[in-house]
Amino acid sequence: MKVPEQPRQFNLWINGNSTASASGRYITRISPAHDCPVTLVAEGAAEDVDRAVVAAKESFDSGVWASISGAERSAVLYAVADRLIERKDELALLETLESGKPLSQAGFEVEWAAGLWKHAAALCRHLYGESCNTLGAGTVSMTLREPIGVVGLITPWNFPLLIASQKAPYALAAGCSAVIKPSELTSATTLVLAEVLKECDLPDGVFNVVTGYGSPVGQALCEHKDIEMISFTGSTNVGKAIAATAACNLKKVCLELGGKNPMIVMDDADLESVVDAARLGAFFNMGECCNASSRILVQEGIADRFVEQLTTFAEGLKVGEPMEEDSKLGAIINEAQEQKILGYVQAGREAGATVCMGGGKVETEKGCFLEVTILDHVPSDSSVATEEVFGPVLSIVRFKTLDEAIAIANRTDFGLSSGIFTNDYNQAMKAARQLRAGTVWVNTWLEGHPELSFGGYKQSGLGRELGSRAVEEYTEEKSVLFSLGKRQPWW
């Protein structure tokens, strides 16, 4: 695979068709790894959102998707999963060109995304209500799970297809119609996904894509009176703004936001396993990951040995051309993010942290590439240890006791993921119970399965994605009560 000579052009996707935006303008995506245009994406506006919502609402009200059986919906979603794998190379290349991530990683993410469509397909046939037969001889009741309606899905730039696949198939499994707004930096794979859904016989209007900037497209989605729910993945600040906007007409919101995830390393841990997990957790996807283990809390007795082994291991990570198979880290998404990351490294230095390796740019002819960076002796209250860096920067904080480690781990506004490495199950269980996070890993990191729910505590979000109840997020519960025989008079 190679960088194309001409950028690929995409329009909006509304009512089952590729269509130009009202403005007629396009956003040019410059590859962060190659400094050349790779895609042209239609620049949507509020009136384009209106068109998409009208199409989605008409499809929902018609019952063409919402009223068919779970088995029929399941067949479509399974077909989508298979088609994603068939188009894997195309999708992976587009993700690499737009995001800068290694091509091999992008290919793996397509496979992971396909697995989510299969999981959602299975759940299509397992959406249940309840019945109650204990209300007296003259009464019986039941509850129904019904699709909430038209949903707005807003996805970020770091895992474009994967995060779209954490939302869209579950909304569709419930019977909803959707309008999705991908990041303007990485829109291509979502538009290919729309093509795939059409190929797999999803009715027109059920899945619509409006590309463009957060304002006006994302804002219009959040404000639209016919959008019943917003599911958003992105920064905590934007999530707060979406929640405030949605409150104006009481939309339901599901928010998967930022994280500052602590990995606790006890002195009895298997260091070889920890070092490998720490390297993956901190530097996977260039650290542009809400689940990154961007701060590692290490017990003092093994801290020096751990830092030495981790630094040696991290030196073997190749940063460079994402199209090359041996590149483990690709380019940073854009120059603004690159400067933000470097600012956090400088703040760490000023707070007294020791730079064990990295800390600067990788000098290349093209692209935004940063060195793998490890900071030691990081003060637990410094900005680099408490705020989301979203880059290949690992902060090491030393502690004496597990109680101290748990206190440090919980001393942030975030609560997305966390973990502990220890061979003492008492310590593991204590941490699992006391860490204030939606996920706790024990002797592993970044291990995920569609069967497990995902979401955060505190300012890491609201609601849950994935898991056995993922489809329920996109439903309303209705109580239905039957009176049997002659009704008793009021008095």
Question: Which are the catalytic amino acids?
Answer: 256, 290
Which tokens is 288 given? 């542009």
**SS3 letters across 73-115:** HHHHHHHHHHHHHHCHHHHHHHHHHHHCCCHHHHHHHHHHHHH
Q: What is the DSSP string of 269-313?
A: S-HHHHHHHHHHHHHGGGG--TT---EEEEEHHHHHHHHHHHHHH
Sheet of 475-483: strand order equals 131-132, 139-147, 475-483
CA separation, residue 409 to residues 290, 415, 434 (Å): 16, 9, 10
Sheet of 207-209: strand order equals 17-19, 12-14, 207-209, 177-181, 150-154, 229-233, 252-256, 461-462
Nearest partner of 196 among 161, 156, 166, judged by Cα: 161
CA separation, residue 52 to residues 148, 150, 200, 224 (Å): 17, 10, 20, 11
> Which residue type sits at 359?
G
Match 């509850």 to its residue by tokens.
143
CA distance 266 to 73: 47
Q: What are phi and psi of 153, to 5 degrees?
A: -115, 125
Q: Beta-strand (E) ranges in 280-406? A: 295-299, 354-357, 373-376, 393-399
Q: Which helix (H) or strand (E) holds 413?
A: none
Nearest partner of 317 among 353, 363, 286, 291, judged by Cα: 286
Q: What is the DSSP string of 123-168?
A: HTT-----EE--S-TTEEEEEEEEE--EEEEE--SSSHHHHHHHHH
Could you say which DSSP state residue 465 is in?
Answer: B
CA distance 302 to 319: 28
Q: Is residue 206 within 8 Å of 175, Cβ to Cβ?
A: no
**Residue 28: Cβ within 10 Å count:** 12
Q: Is residue 427 within 8 Å of 406, Cβ to Cβ?
A: no
**Residue 208: Cβ within 10 Å count:** 29
